[in-house]
Chains A and B, each alone.
Chain A
Amino acid sequence: MEIVLAQIVNGFSLGSIYVLLVTGFNLMLLVARIIQFAYPQFVVLSMYASWAVLESTNNIFLAALAAIISSIILNLLSEPIFRRINNRENVDINASFVASMGLSMIIVEIMSHSINNGFPVSFPDYWGGKNLFSFGYINLGRGEFYALTGGIILVAIFFYLLYHTHYGRVFRAIAESRKTAKQVGLAVLKSSILSYLVAGILGGIIAILFSMLLGSASPWLGESVALKVLAVSITAGLGNLKGGLYVGLSLGILESLAVGFLAGSWANVIAFVLMLIVVLTKPEGLFGAAIE
């Protein structure tokens, strides 16, 4: 029983990271109208940025700042690329998917050749490795605690902004119908660029929390996470923010339980089994797709 509880605690921490990632991914899907497969890669590259700053300065504050700035820059730099693709006539959303896969592969190559000679990097214990609380089998590390609480706070802030501010309402209006938003003269392009900035800030904080939770980063981390984020979004219903919340959290818990009870890396398959079942039985996703 204690083991199950311990795994559930771990699962909530991992799940809140998935929720944040899928939230950023869905935001870009809804407002910028792109399938941003490279988004988790930007997060991982930003983890590297904070690692590099930690290595050279040992300063936690600067390392956190580095992750956020790096993520904002990466996301904003990708904006003109996707805008160019989206502006072409008769181009559907899959064009952005293919472009972002290409971007993702380039980032993997950069990380596996140019950073730390391609070896995975480890974060120092003071970054997130210390144990905060132990009870029998249940160990709550600082990284897990931060990922969990940070995840909850960030999602709460995000949804508050989305439902209670002008730009949140504009985001939701564009998400519901880009065509109507354009017709009534809402600032679609400006909001789209703003969504890259918001996704950038979110991605930077995810990078901090994720590196605290895992204690390491590797060039291949982003790819496996990106596939899972895509699977979560499809399972929940593409672009469904609330659905992403439930499915992301559930996936974290299921994976953690599987790690405790199944052999090898079976846990990594869960997301895709779920996705396959949902695609076959409920193609719109468990909570319904939210894009036109």
Chain B
Amino acid sequence: MKSKEKLLEIDSLYLNYGSIKAVKGISLYLKKNEIVTLVGANGAGKSSLLKGIMNIEKTKGDILFKNNKINNLATEKIVNKGISIIPEGHLIFSSMTVWENLQLGVYQGNKDKDITLEEIYNYFPILEKRKEQKAGTLSGGEQQMLSIGRALLSGPELLLVDEPSLGLAPQIVQDIFTILKKLNKDGFTILLAEQNVKKSLEIADRAYVLKTGEIVREGKANDMLAESNFMDLYLN
């Protein structure tokens, strides 16, 4: 049974890049153990919203995590509170080994976390095989797994996942989405920003459709998936 407790609540959030308004008064929420996806075309404001939540970019408006305002906290403090981001473009530290990249996550975040390196190796056995290898020598999919592994090791309750399928082969994309679903089953709440609308609606509970920085529709992911003209209405 999924709990009704709201984990994240965003109220009238604005984010500007100079004169460009990337996020225009967005309000949304996530309940514990949900997968919520943000769908929308390129430039709709999905990534900006995730960056705003992590305070990588400055925002106006309210962001509440477990009923506490987190707007002005430094990104590392937000990680300590229990939110981790898996940034777009499988960002890893390529000159460092796989193990060293994972260790960066181990020392980050909540001190009471109970996730271990062994559990990460269970999710991604390939990372254990490659642990001594420089991260820059991994394939795109493996780098994405490493990026997820590092984020998990900081012990988050909420994972923000930014365009995980970007630049990956279809089979790898399928693997990544399967893992996200598994993570959700294991108790992680996920906010997913993704251009691959079908794939993300398939694994999500609810979805918000973004267009030029605003929410134009929200609802159950299944309902949207069932609408034959959904893509034409909102995403073209």
Contact = CB atoms under 8 A, between A and B. Distances in A.
Interface of A: 166, 169-170, 172-173, 176-177, 180, 182-190
B76 A187 contact: yes
Given A184-B104, A184-B151, A186-B104, A172 B93 contact: yes
A173 B104 CA distance: 9
B96 interface: yes
B85 interface: yes
Given A173-B93, A176-B95, A189-B74, A183 B104 contact: no
Nearest to A172: B96
B207 to A, nearest CB: 24
Contact of A182 (B75, B96, B100): B75
Nearest to A173: B93
B85 A183 contact: yes
Interface in B76-127: 76, 78-79, 84-85, 87, 91-96, 100, 103-104, 107-109
A176 B93 contact: yes
A185 B76 contact: yes
A185 B79 contact: yes
Interface string B153-177: 0100000000000000000000000
A169 B101 CA distance: 8
B56 interface: yes
**Interface size bracket, B side:** 20 to 34
9 contacts: A169-B100, A172-B96, A176-B94, A183-B85, A184-B151, A185-B54, A185-B76, A186-B76, A187-B74
A162 to B, nearest CB: 11
Contact of B154 (A176, A185, A190): A185
A185 B96 contact: no
A182 B58 CA distance: 13
B117 to A, nearest CB: 14
Contact of A184 (B95, B107, B150): B150
Contacts of A172: 93, 95-96, 100
Contacts of A166: 103, 107
B60 to A, nearest CB: 18
B93 A183 contact: no
A186 B96 CA distance: 15
A180 B87 contact: yes
| Interface pairs A-B: 7 shortest CB-CB | A185-B79, A185-B75, A180-B91, A187-B76, A166-B107, A183-B87, A173-B93
A170 B100 CA distance: 10
A102 B104 CA distance: 37
A43 B137 CA distance: 40
A188 to B, nearest CB: 8
A100 B212 CA distance: 44
B186 to A, nearest CB: 21
B65 to A, nearest CB: 14
Contacts of B108: 184-186
Contact of B96 (A176, A187, A188, A190): A176
Contacts of A185: 54, 75-76, 78-79, 84-85, 108-109, 154
Nearest to B95: A176
Contacts of B91: 177, 180, 183-184
A247 B51 CA distance: 41
A170 B103 CA distance: 10
A183 B76 CA distance: 9
A172 B103 CA distance: 13
Given A170-B107, A183-B51, A183-B56, 7 more contacts: A169-B104, A173-B96, A180-B91, A184-B91, A184-B108, A185-B76, A187-B74
Contacts of A176: 93-96
A182 B57 CA distance: 11
Contact of B93 (A180, A182, A187, A189): A180
A292 B107 CA distance: 25
Contacts of A177: 91, 93
Contacts of A190: 76
Contacts of B92: 180
A212 to B, nearest CB: 36
B85 A184 contact: yes
Contacts of A186: 76, 104, 108
A170 B104 contact: yes
Contacts of A187: 74, 76
B171 to A, nearest CB: 26
A184 B146 CA distance: 12
Nearest to B150: A184
A188 B54 CA distance: 14
